[in-house]
Structure formats: structure tokens, C-alpha cells
């Protein structure tokens, strides 16, 4: 299997959403951009912020759609079509309520699990055959609406755990760039 050549961070645009759980994917791409000193520039033709980074001589596109989450597929489709990147070479980083805070998991294909961003991406790419980095944000307390929960900021301790998990995910990116997905999964999924 070919390595990852496009990493997408899902979230909502605007300062009011910047620190909400739903923007965990954006945090991840920003972390990579910072670690690799890659500047993300607003690109109207991709409806997003775009930059090209390098991991050990492997070039990789970074994309943060500037559309709202539920219509982010248009951004990914535009960039993937322009650079002829196959869905199998795309990694989508997104918040995941089915995982505890501070746990990150890699997954290939599957459904959208009620995640509106994934639903739109599947519809635009006409496939679910892409990689996902599922960033655990935990479940809302009983009775709390899931939408309200993901659109609110995590507690300070939760954000610390999420940041540590994102760092662990950054550490395995060189493996994913070169198509070593099993090794990347093993490294990420066995962290205590």
C-alpha cells in the first residue's frame, strides 16, 4: 500500500470554534505544520489552508478545510483531484466521541459513524477507502447533547491528554508516509 501524501485536519472555521473538541483534527495538522516549520496558506481553489511538508524526504500535503465540517468534502476533493492523490493516500484526522480522551487510533475505511465531516468526504470521494486518525474526545455526560459537547472546549486536563496523544500521532507519521501502516498502528495502539 502506498504511503500517505495528504493529511487533512477536520474542524470548523472561525475563532469561536478554534478550541472546541470538534477541531481536534485541525489541532493535529497545525502541530505537524509547526513541527516541520510548514506555512499553511489560504488557497481559494481548495477551500482551505494548504501547505507541503517533508518527512524524511517524503513530500506530503497538509490541508485544513475552511468550509464548515459538514461540507468539508469539497475541499478535499478539489486538492486530491488537482494533485491526482488517490483516496488510499489520504489521512483524515478527526474528533472521535467513541474513544476516551487522549486515545488516538488509526483506521482504514469503514462508515462515517454519524460524523458529518466523514459523511461528506465519503460522498465527495465516492469511497470510504481512506485512512482516518481518530482522536478521542470522550463521550458527553448523560443527557448532554453530542453536538453541544463537541462544539465546546475540553477541560484543561483533557486538552493536555489530547495534546500528548497528538504528539504520539505525529511521531508515527514518518511510518505512514512510507506506507508502514501496520507498524504505525502497532506503535500508536500499544502506547500505555
Residue 132: count of CB within 10 angstroms of its CB: 26
| 62 has pLDDT over 90 | yes
Residue 180 has phi, psi (to 5 degrees) of -90, 65
pLDDT tens digits along 101-133: 999 999 999 888 889 999 999 999 999 999 999
Q: Domain spans of the chain?
A: 1-6+29-54+69-172
Q: What percent of the chain has pLDDT over 70?
A: 98
Asked if residues 177 and 60 have their Cβ atoms less than 8 Å apart, the reply is yes
Nearest Cα to Cα of residue 27 among 180, 148, 161, 186: 161
Quote the pTM value: 0.96
Q: Give the separation between CA 165 and CA 93, rounded to whole angstroms.
A: 12
Confidence of residue 55 (pLDDT cuts 50, 70, 90): confident
- Spatial distance between the Cα atoms of 59 and 135, rounded to a whole number of angstroms: 24
β strands within the chain, DSSP E: 6-9, 41-43, 48-55, 58-65, 90-96, 104-108, 131-136
Q: How many CA atoms lie within 13 A of 55 on its CB side?
A: 22
Architecture in CATH of 1-6+29-54+69-172: 3-Layer(aba) Sandwich (3.40)
What's the confidence (pLDDT) of residue 54?
Answer: 85
- pLDDT at position 2 is 78
Catalytic residues: 22
Amino acid at each position: 500500500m502506498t504511503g500517505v501524501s495528504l493529511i487533512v485536519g477536520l474542524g470548523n472555521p472561525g475563532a469561536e470554534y478554534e478550541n472546541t473538541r470538534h477541531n481536534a483534527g485541525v489541532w493535529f495538522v497545525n502541530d505537524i505544520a509547526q513541527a516541520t516549520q510548514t506555512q499553511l496558506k489560504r488557497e481559494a481553489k481548495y477551500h482551505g489552508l494548504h501547505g507541503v511538508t517533508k518527512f524524511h524526504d517524503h513530500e506530503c500535503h497538509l490541508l485544513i478545510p475552511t468550509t464548515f465540517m459538514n461540507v468539508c468534502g469539497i475541499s478535499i476533493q478539489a486538492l486530491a483531484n488537482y494533485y491526482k492523490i488517490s483516496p488510499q493516500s489520504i489521512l483524515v484526522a478527526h474528533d472521535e466521541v467513541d474513544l476516551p480522551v487522549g486515545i488516538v487510533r488509526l483506521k482504514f475505511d469503514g462508515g462515517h459513524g454519524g460524523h458529518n465531516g466523514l459523511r461528506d468526504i465519503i460522498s465527495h470521494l465516492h469511497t470510504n477507502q481512506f485512512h482516518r486518525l481518530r482522536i478521542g474526545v470522550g463521550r458527553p455526560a448523560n443527557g448532554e447533547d453530542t453536538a453541544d459537547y463537541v462544539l465546546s472546549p475540553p477541560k484543561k486536563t483533557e486538552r493536555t491528554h489530547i495534546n500528548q496523544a497528538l504528539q504520539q500521532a505525529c511521531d508515527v507519521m514518518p511510518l505512514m508516509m512510507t506506507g508502514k501502516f501496520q507498524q504505525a498502528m502497532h506503535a500508536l495502539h500499544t502506547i500505555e
